[in-house]
Every structure is written in C-alpha cells, then in structure tokens.
Structure 1
Amino acid sequence: MNIIFFARLFYPHIGGVEKHVMRVSEELIKAGNKVSIVTEGFKKDLAEFEVYGDIRIFRIPVFPTLEKSKKWLIWKWLLAHQQLIFEADIVHIHDVFYWFIPFLFRKRFYLTYHGYEGYKSPTLSAIGQRKVGELLASGTICVGDYMRKWYGARPNLVTYGAVDKRPVGNRKTIKATAIYVGRLSEDSGIMMYLMALKLLRDKGISIRLTVFGDGPQKSEAERYSGTNSLAVRFRGYDDTVINHYQDFELAFVSRYLAIVEAMQVKRPIFAVYNNDIKKDYLRCHPQAKSIAISENEKELADAVSDYYLNSGKWRRRVDEAHNWVKEQSWQQVVKLYRQLWKNGKETFKYQ
C-alpha cells in the first residue's frame, strides 16, 4: 500500500508523536508498504524533501511563519502537491485535522489523536474541532481513554504506546539515582520533582537526578537546583535515552511513551500531575496501580520514601507492569492501524 501520514513535527525533531509515527512507519515499510510523511519544516536548514530509512519526508516550508498564519501556507503547499494525497491508498492524520480541510469529501482519511492542548481543560473550540474530525474521518485512534471524558471522543481504537523489546540486561544500576525524561515545563512537572528531591534530602534521603529534556522551565530548574545544592545533571534532549533507563534506580516520568519505556526495563515509576486532565491522563492508564501518581511534591516525596521502606510491594508492582508491557510492541500497534484501515468505524478495540 501507498500510505501517507500527516504530522506537525517529525524527524529530526524529538518527541512522543514523532517516535510513534517513525516506528509505525518503519514497521509498515518492513511489511512492504510505501510510506510518506508530510510535516512542517520547523527550522531553516531542513530540506523540503528527504528520504530517511526508506521513509519519504515532505516538509512544508513554514519557518519562521507565526503559528496563526501557518495554515494558509500549509493549505497552499498541500494543494500544490495534492497528487501525493490522491495517489495514496491510505491518508492518516496525526492530530492536525485542519490541514486536511481543502480535501474534505474528496478523499477518505483516518485520524490519531495523541494528546491534549496546553496545561488546562480543553477549550470548546478544541473539543469542537476534534468532534468534527471524528465525525468526518473513516476511523479514529486515541492515545489514552481520558479523551472520552475531556473531548467527548468515541474512538474506534485506544492505545497507550509501545516499546521495542529488549532484555532487561545485567548493567549495574547506581543506587539512589533517578532519571527524568520529558519537557522541562509546568505540565511535565519538572519543578515538582526537584522540590520533592529537596524534601527527601531534608529527611535524609539523597537522590541524584539526571534530566533528559529541555523546555521553558530549564533556567528555573537549573537555578532551583543550584540554590538548593541538589545533585541534578541536565543532559538536554537525547534520542538514545531509551538506552539509559537501566543506569538509574528510579524513573521520574509522566508521559505514556516514557512510562512504557521505563516499565520495559523494570523501573519503578513516579508520575505527577498539576491539573485535572493530566490526573485523568495518568489514572486511566491500564497499569495506573503500578505507578506512583502524585499531585504535589509532598505526595511524591512520600511515594519515594515508601519505595525504600516497602521494597517487596514495589517489586510486585514493577513485575506486574513489566508483564503487561511485554505485549505493547510496535508490531501490535501496527496491527491496530491495519485493523482500522480495513474495518473503519466498525472497529472497536482497546490496546
């Protein structure tokens, strides 16, 4: 089949949606399909066309256009390259439904919704756009079942991400260490994790933290760590971070992709939320009972303390999560996509 994916950002940009689209594309290509990605040229020096590992990448040259003006450039580019759309057997859109407006009722399409906008409850406009997209699409996938409550979604399929299978390994884990993976932002909770480290240190539990990520709160996080003499190292984004989880005792992660990656190597997971939608995002996870989910730094510090006081309970949690994640492969996710493309809105399943 000739498959085209729309995604706002893609390689070389690093993120959860980008990895999802990349791994699904790679598995489809292994099965003999042709895959193209239409995405934004998010910085100046990116080629408008590139082949990366047999994936054809078409970048819409929108940089440095302001966000509110991008849609006109995107629609103009798509209309000029509409043969890509009409020659495709499958058109599947990741989040950016509005890109497809010029082609509505002219070509079937499918949708995957990956997350939520901003740090608070979705606006009526955001809910409305998703409902229209769901109504017009031939089938939809949601990453997380919380979207039923917050967007009124009725997805045909639900997934929580996947991970490449790998042995747990015999690498030596350094005790009293933690890994943070994610954006350095309010929603991801970086400051809450740092404040919890200070509380733990004041109680006599010193944890050394390595941070993989970047974002708007980086300077604040660095200042707080320095002012409070916390043992924190900031590494920035690293697309090989999956290889580092085993080096650390604890996983400070709050997003689905990082959660399954930590489960895969049997690390205890400490996740945080600071708004109601993030709370539901975490608590709807099939393995929520295996994750320490905290609302503030005190709850988080107490959860880490409990890990050291009740090791047997935590081993059971980690083992249960690991057994579940064994079935969460990218091959399984691709099966969901194939099922959706074959059966459309008649498909109803959770993964």
Structure 2
Amino acid sequence: MRIVFFTKYFCPHIGGVEKHVLNLSKKMLEKGHDVIVVTEKLYLQQDLSGHQKVSLGHLPGAQANLEDINGIKVIRINVGRDSWFKKFRIWNELLKIRKILISADVIHCHDIFFWYLPFRFLFPTKKVFTTFHGYEGNNLPSRKAMLMHKLAEKLSSGNICVGDFLNKWYGTNPNFVIYGAVDISESQISNLRSQNHISKLKNNNYLTNLSLKILYVGRLEEEAGIMEYLRALKILKERGYNFSLDVLGDGSQKKEAEKFSILNNLDINFKGFVEDVDKYLEKADFIFTSRYLGILESFAKKKFVFAVYNNPIKNDYLEFSPFSKNISINRNYMDLAEEIISVLKNEKDTLEKIEKNYEWVKKQSWNRLAKIYFKLWSKQV
C-alpha cells in the first residue's frame, strides 16, 4: 500500500507532530508499505543527527526536493514565506506532483487538510483522512479555526483526534482519540526497576537540603508556560529550596526567560531544541511540561509531571486526558510552587501516581498507534 502523509514540517524540524509522523512512518515501512511524506521545504536546515538522509534530487516540473530518510521518501515543496498567497503556491506545487497523489492508496493529512482541499474535488473518489493534533497557540479557537476543523472532518473519510478536548472546542467527532505513543524497550524496563526514582525524598529529613534536578520540555512561549515555571522556582528559591533546571526548547520568550533567570540568580541552563530528550529525562527528578508528547515521554522514564495552563482550552487539554488525576495541573506560578512543595512532602502518593502513569504509558506503543491508523483506513479504503 502507498501511504502519503501531509505535514507542515518534518524531520529534521523538531516537534511533536514531526516525531509522530516520523515514528508512524517507520512502523508503516516495517509492515512493508511505501511511505511518502509531503512537507514544506526548510529554509533553516537543522542537523539530521541519527537520521540517514539521501538526496534524490528534484522532482521533474516541480520546485520540490526528493529525499530518503531511513527509507521514508520525503518531498519538500517550495512554498515560500507566509502570506495570503501561500496556499495558492502550495496548491500549485501539489498539482505538479499530482501523479503521486493519484497513485496513493491512502492520503492522510496531519492538521493541514487545506493543502489537499482542491484535490478533494479533483479526485472525489480518493480516500483522504485527517489527524487533528492540537489547537492554535495562545488564544481560544476562532470561528474560522472551528469552521476549518468541521470542513476537514466533513470532507475526510475519517479522522483521529489527539485529545478529547477537540470535540468540545471544535465540535470534531473523532473515529479515534489518541494521546501519542512511546516505545519502552526491555532494557529500559530493567533499568527503571533498578532505580529509586525519588530516593532523594527518602534520604533527606529536611526538604530544603535537597538538590533537585528539574527538566523543562517545550517551546518557550506563553502557551507552554515557561515564565510561570520560572516564577514558581523563584518562590522555591526564596523558601530555601536548592535546584537546577535544564530548559529544552526555544521560542519568543527565550530572552525574557534568560533575563529573569539572571536577575533572580536562578541555576538554569538553556539548551535549545534537542533531539535526544531521553538522556535529560533520565537524570531529572521531575519534569515541567504541558504537551502530550513530553508528558508521555516523562511517564516512560517514571518521572512526575507538573503542567500549567493559561486559558480554558489548555485546561481542558490537560483535564480531559486519561492521566489528569496523576499529574499536577496548575493555573499560575503561585499554585505551582505550592504543588511542588506538596509533591515533595507526599512521597507515597507521588510514587503511586508515577507507577499508575508508567503502567498506562507502557500500553501506548507506536505499534498500537499504527494499528489504530490501519483500522481507520481499513474501514474506508
């Protein structure tokens, strides 16, 4: 079967959707399918790290590069900079590679259904599917955003929602609801069994003598709550708690975050985007993150998660999840600071939540996720 994925960005660009499509594509390849990813050309190329890339040149008649990444064929179309005309450039470039679209058994859009919109009418019998991954930045959904979700749903043969909150906020009726995936190897399980994950709590009578190692995973944006996390750490420092924080991510609030850290003499290391998050997760005592991928990866390492929200949709994003009762969800930095102290003091309850999260996440494998996609497609193809 030939599967064509549409995604705005793809490896080496780092992000949750990018990782989702990459790992899903790998599973499709393992099952003997042909996978093609259609995505935007990257203007600022990043290191591919462990991903083996082979350039296959240009596609005839199109301003598109063809690559091979670990067996995944990647078509990068040149759509130019963001502007009102961008969608027309996208459609024009896709028209030039229409033979690939025609040859596909499955076309699956990750959020960007509008890329395929005109082709839905050009190829009315072609089955197309959509995964809705999230919501738009710091604001509540606009009427336009809700309309686009409903349009994509109506014109798709089926859809997957990443999170139950999408039904409430966009009116999307999913065929399946997912929360992402992780793979835990047998060696990882053995290693986790041998670790005492909150041993610092057991070996210290005075919490202020702790030297906590904290990890932040996410973009440095208002929606992700970076400044709320830093303000909470300022309170902890004032109360005598010792800690260091590694920040994995980048964004528009980086300079503000760095300035705040310096002014308040906080022990914080800004690492930027990194591909290998696991090695940082393993060393951390607990995690600051509020996106599903980061949360699941933290669970897989048996780490407790503190999340923050800045508006009602982000609150529902977290509260509607199956693990909401076993993480700390906070509205502001004052609540967060108190929650951190409470978690440190209530070791038994914290350990129970960590174990519940771990048992749940063990079932959320990429193989399981691939089966959900095949189940969706098999009903329609």
TM range (shorter): over 0.9
Alpha-carbon distance in structure 2 between the residues aligned to 1:49 and 1:189: 37
Alpha-carbon distance in structure 1 between the residues aligned to 2:34 and 2:276: 26
Q: How does 1:1-351 map to 2 (within 5 A)?
A: 1-43=1-43, 48-63=65-80, 65-105=81-121, 106=123, 107-166=126-185, 167-168=188-189, 169=191, 175-344=211-380
**Partner residue, 2:206:** none
Amino acid in structure 1 at the alignment position of 2:114 = Y
Alpha-carbon distance in structure 2 between the residues aligned to 1:230 and 1:342: 53
Deviation per CA, 1:23-47, whole angstroms, max 9, x where unpaired? 0000000110010000001316697
Name the Cα RMSD after superposition: 1.6
User: SS of the counterpart of 1:163?
Assistant: coil
1:127, CA displacement in angstroms?
0.4
Amino acid in structure 2 at the alignment position of 1:86 = I
User: SS of the counterpart of 2:242?
Assistant: coil
Deviation per CA, 1:50-95, whole angstroms, max 9, x where unpaired? 10000000001124x2243211111000001101101011000000
- Normalised by the size of structure 2, how large is the TM-score? 0.88
1:172, CA displacement in angstroms?
8.7
Alpha-carbon distance in structure 2 between the residues aligned to 1:98 and 1:62: 14
Alpha-carbon distance in structure 2 between the residues aligned to 1:235 and 1:100: 37
User: SS of the counterpart of 2:245?
Assistant: strand
Structure number with bigger Rg: 2
User: SS of the counterpart of 2:272?
Assistant: coil
1:12, CA displacement in angstroms?
0.8
**Partner residue, 2:207:** none
User: Aligned residue pairs: how many?
Assistant: 344
Identity %: 41
Alpha-carbon distance in structure 1 between the residues aligned to 2:290 and 2:214: 13
Deviation per CA, 1:139-185, whole angstroms, max 9, x where unpaired? 00000000011001100000000112131525797851110011000
Alpha-carbon distance in structure 2 between the residues aligned to 1:215 and 1:315: 33
Alpha-carbon distance in structure 1 between the residues aligned to 2:336 and 2:45: 42
Question: Alpha carbons of 1:93 and 1:323: their partners in 2 closer, same or farther (altered >3 Å)?
Answer: same
Question: Alpha carbons of 1:44 and 1:188: their partners in 2 closer, same or farther (altered >3 Å)?
Answer: closer
Segment of structure 1 superposing worse, 262-271 or 41-50: 41-50
Alpha-carbon distance in structure 2 between the residues aligned to 1:301 and 1:9: 35
Alpha-carbon distance in structure 1 between the residues aligned to 2:85 and 2:241: 50
Alpha-carbon distance in structure 1 between the residues aligned to 2:298 and 2:359: 13
- Structure 1 gaps of 5+ residues are 346-351
User: SS of the counterpart of 1:235?
Assistant: strand
Question: Alpha carbons of 1:45 and 1:282: their partners in 2 closer, same or farther (altered >3 Å)?
Answer: closer
Report if aligned partners of 1:197, 1:206 keep a CA contact under 8 Å in 2.
Answer: no
Alpha-carbon distance in structure 2 between the residues aligned to 1:314 and 1:284: 20
Alpha-carbon distance in structure 1 between the residues aligned to 2:253 and 2:102: 43
Deviation per CA, 1:91-118, whole angstroms, max 9, x where unpaired? 0000001101121131220000001012
Alpha-carbon distance in structure 1 between the residues aligned to 2:111 and 2:301: 30
**Partner residue, 1:349:** none
1:300, CA displacement in angstroms?
0.6
Alpha-carbon distance in structure 2 between the residues aligned to 1:111 and 1:144: 14
1:307, CA displacement in angstroms?
1.4
Alpha-carbon distance in structure 2 between the residues aligned to 1:172 and 1:70: 52
Alpha-carbon distance in structure 1 between the residues aligned to 2:176 and 2:279: 30
Amino acid in structure 1 at the alignment position of 2:38 = V
Report if aligned partners of 2:127, 2:380 keep a CA contact under 8 Å in 1.
Answer: no
1:243, CA displacement in angstroms?
2.7
Alpha-carbon distance in structure 1 between the residues aligned to 2:301 and 2:326: 14
Report if aligned partners of 1:94, 1:114 keep a CA contact under 8 Å in 2.
Answer: yes
